[in-house]
Structure 1
Amino acid sequence: ELYTFPASSEERDGGGLSSAPGISQVVGDPDAVWPAHNPGGARNARSHTHANARPRRRRHIKLSHEEAFFLVHDAQVLRIRSDTPWPTDFPGAPPSASATYFDTEALWRVLCSTNDRESFACHYAAYRHYRAKGYIPRSGLTFGSDWILYAAHPQVAHSEFSVLVIP
């Protein structure tokens, strides 16, 4: 069962993934996002499906471009689809005009064309580097930086470092 996380106008104004034209996020299991999105989580994730389970409420999540690409490319728990038909000459368009989901390469082109290409690549490289080191990067916008790094979930630990990416 797929859960769709539509982009509201409020989310579009916030500059998350939904600010790219015609994109909404789709994930196979919303509970898989947190374990796979955090260090060691994919190995420890358990299935939450039960025969008598009640239908789940839709959950709205907001992902940065870097978080979304990480979940698509590295964790492989997120698929992103286009809600609108793409012109064939658009740099990030899927290979066929009728394609529903973006492959990794097409998504990379969309995110690089939505942002400054060098800037997105540098920010994603920093995001991925700190994820590999075991940190949980979160937006550092309110602190005047690109990323704030947490050693554990942000609700149980204070951030240890602030990162400024200079492309």
Structure 2
Amino acid sequence: MAPRWKWKGAEAKALAEPIANSVSELQLSLAKTESSGSLSSCNVLLAVEPEQAELLDRCCFGRLVLSAEKGKKWIQLSFEEAFYLLYNLKCIKIYLQGRCLEKEVDTWMYMRSKRPKFPIFFKAYSHLRSKNWVLRSGLQFGVDFVVYRHHPSLVHSEYSVLVQSGDSNRLRAWSDVHCAVRLSGSVAKTLLTLHVSGNSNKEDLNLPLCLENYTVEEHTICRWSPELSREDEIMKP
């Protein structure tokens, strides 16, 4: 499926401002000011300067939280977004109840305690993020993530993503596949399944290093169209 740009000139703007360049600029800015976020039960609130809030929006990390406080902006990050900034980009610090979690493993274990499947979902998230795809929550589309080629203000999302693992196959029956494909097709998206597999045991899951033992398999699932598969001419011997 070709990208569907939202307005004339959007493609040129995207080419002029690659996501990879914006992420590098964000990484330098956050690391320089030692930006920090506070953990809660389901997200991380990150306090940043107004310029950094614009960079976070340009890179599609988190969502702005309205606040009356002047001089600071608050960004609500999902666990995947926050840990990506902490572990992959190493540009933020995270606090829990006023205490800085100096070790990445402490943040990892807290997030995993709140969401046991966090390692699987983070591996899928970081797998696509490292390829400079932009991810947003896919809750309203009945999937885990929706994936954009660039900023959502420039282009429509191309894929709806379901994350699966060995003990969590959500497309077990044909009816599940049919429903997921029809729903994705109705909103002009291609269904992408990410199957995360690995040999980590329960002890390994307590360390972010277990991510190195995981592999991700990508599969796109589309409806078969007889008209597109029909031969126009009879093949001659």
How many correspondences in the alignment?
A: 124
Taking structure 1 as the reference length, what is the TM-score of the superposition?
A: 0.61
- Secondary structure of 1:60 counterpart: strand
Residue equivalent to 1:123: 121
Residue equivalent to 2:40: 18
What's the offset of the Cα at 1:131?
A: 0.6
Code of the residue aligned with 1:115 in structure 2: it is R
Distance change >3 Å, CA 26–CA 107, structure 1 → 2: same
Residue equivalent to 1:110: 110
- Secondary structure of 1:165 counterpart: strand
Distance change >3 Å, CA 25–CA 62, structure 1 → 2: closer
Code of the residue aligned with 1:166 in structure 2: it is Q
- Secondary structure of 1:112 counterpart: helix
- Secondary structure of 1:129 counterpart: helix
Code of the residue aligned with 2:140 in structure 1: it is T
1:59 aligns with 2:68: no
Distance change >3 Å, CA 31–CA 75, structure 1 → 2: farther
- Secondary structure of 1:149 counterpart: strand
Distance change >3 Å, CA 4–CA 120, structure 1 → 2: closer
More strand by share: 2
Q: How much identity, in percent, do the aligned residues show? A: 31
What's the offset of the Cα at 1:32?
A: 4.4
- Distance, in Å, in 2 between the alignment partners of 1:24 and 1:63 is 5
Contact 1:26 1:81 in 2 (8 A): no
- Secondary structure of 2:146 counterpart: strand
Q: What's the C-alpha RMSD, in Å, of the aligned pairs?
A: 3.1
- Distance, in Å, in 2 between the alignment partners of 1:66 and 1:104 is 13
Contact 1:150 1:157 in 2 (8 A): yes
Code of the residue aligned with 1:110 in structure 2: it is Y
Distance change >3 Å, CA 3–CA 121, structure 1 → 2: closer
- Distance, in Å, in 2 between the alignment partners of 1:78 and 1:27 is 10
Distance change >3 Å, CA 31–CA 76, structure 1 → 2: farther
- Distance, in Å, in 2 between the alignment partners of 1:3 and 1:30 is 12
Can you list the C-alpha shifts for 1:36-71, whole angstroms capped at 9, x where unaligned?
7849xxxxxxxxxxxxxxxx6321211111000001
Contact 1:140 1:162 in 2 (8 A): yes
Contact 1:131 1:137 in 2 (8 A): yes
Structure 1: give runs of 5+ residues left out of the alignment. 7-16, 40-55, 85-98
What's the offset of the Cα at 1:100?
A: 2.6
- Secondary structure of 2:95 counterpart: strand
Residue equivalent to 1:100: 100
Residue equivalent to 2:158: 160
- Distance, in Å, in 1 between the alignment partners of 2:104 and 2:74 is 23
- Secondary structure of 1:130 counterpart: helix
Code of the residue aligned with 1:60 in structure 2: it is W
Residue equivalent to 1:75: 89
More helix by share: 2
What's the offset of the Cα at 1:166?
A: 1.7
Residue equivalent to 1:10: none
- Structure ID, larger Rg: 2
